[in-house]
């Protein structure tokens, strides 16, 4: 038997997983249940873990798996779903959620306009694993508007797959003269390397190959709406 708050929390987590595939944050859970502190959320989650309703996925940020739902919550589901429950069984195991979240290094801001210093220290950014493919990744916060026509806006987080090679037309992090980095389309133009913006207000940048080192290719974007 769950308490009212435990029941509210398991339903909130389950609904969020069904809608987005990602577990809600502790702050979101605190606000949804009108709790005074996150410690109350921790206690509720621990209680649900002990009763085997929830499981925390190891080495994942904000990753919770709903193992089963309370009988009352199941009763609200369509009859075709609950009819498959074994007689006398109050709980139904839930399917595996697509809520894997991994943390990748966040290396400061990168210019999508004129080049600026990159890799200004490092923190971590939680990213849905579905946005990333194979390989090693890191993130950079975009500064500037020179890639807006590619859908890359100021304040976005560019998810970068680490590599030192690129094909023409790919969006890359280019390190210029080992000191400045920029996010641009990569192209070869004769004996030169051309870095193209995606904004008609900016001109392409041309460098000798020895001046430019590819640091990674764009793998995805994260955008926050405040």
Catalytic (active-site) positions:
146, 184
Q: Do 170 and 195 touch, CB atoms closer than 8 A?
A: no
Nearest Cα neighbor of 119 from 166, 169, 160 is: 160
Residue 114: C-alpha distances to residues 89, 106, 117, 222 (Å): 63, 20, 10, 22
Sequence-separated (6 or more) residues with CB below 8 Å from residue 64? 13, 17, 23, 45, 54, 55, 56, 57, 99
Q: Structure tokens of 71?
A: 């009988």
DSSP-assigned letter for residue 155: T
Question: Which region holds residue 167: left if phi is over 0, alpha if psi is between -120 and 50, else beta?
Answer: beta
CA atoms within 13 A on the CB side of 39: 1
**Whole-number Å distance between alpha carbons of 201 and 126:** 33
């Amino acid at each position: 038997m769950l308490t009212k708050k435990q029941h509210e929390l398991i339903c909130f987590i389950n609904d969020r997983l069904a809608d987005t595939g990602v577990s809600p944050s502790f702050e979101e859970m605190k606000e949804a249940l009108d709790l005074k502190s996150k410690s109350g959320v921790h206690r509720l989650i621990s209680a649900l873990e002990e009763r085997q309703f929830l499981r925390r996925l190891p080495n994942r940020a904000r990753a919770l798996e709903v193992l089963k739902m309370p009988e009352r919550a199941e009763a609200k589901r369509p009859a075709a779903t609950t009819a498959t429950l074994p007689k006398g069984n109050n709980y139904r195991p839930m399917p595996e959620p697509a809520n894997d979240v991994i943390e990748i290094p966040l290396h400061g801001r990168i210019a999508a306009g004129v080049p600026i210093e990159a890799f200004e220290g490092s923190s971590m950014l939680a990213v849905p694993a579905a946005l990333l493919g194979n390989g090693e990744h890191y993130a950079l916060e975009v500064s500037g508007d020179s890639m807006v026509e590619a859908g890359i806006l100021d304040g976005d987080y560019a998810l970068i797959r680490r590599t030192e090679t690129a094909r023409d037309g790919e969006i890359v992090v280019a390190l210029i003269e080992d000191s400045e980095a920029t996010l641009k389309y990569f192209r070869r133009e004769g004996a030169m390397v051309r870095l193209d913006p995606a904004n008609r207000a900016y001109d392409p940048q041309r460098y000798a190959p020895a001046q430019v080192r590819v640091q990674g290719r764009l793998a995805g974007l994260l955008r926050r709406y405040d």
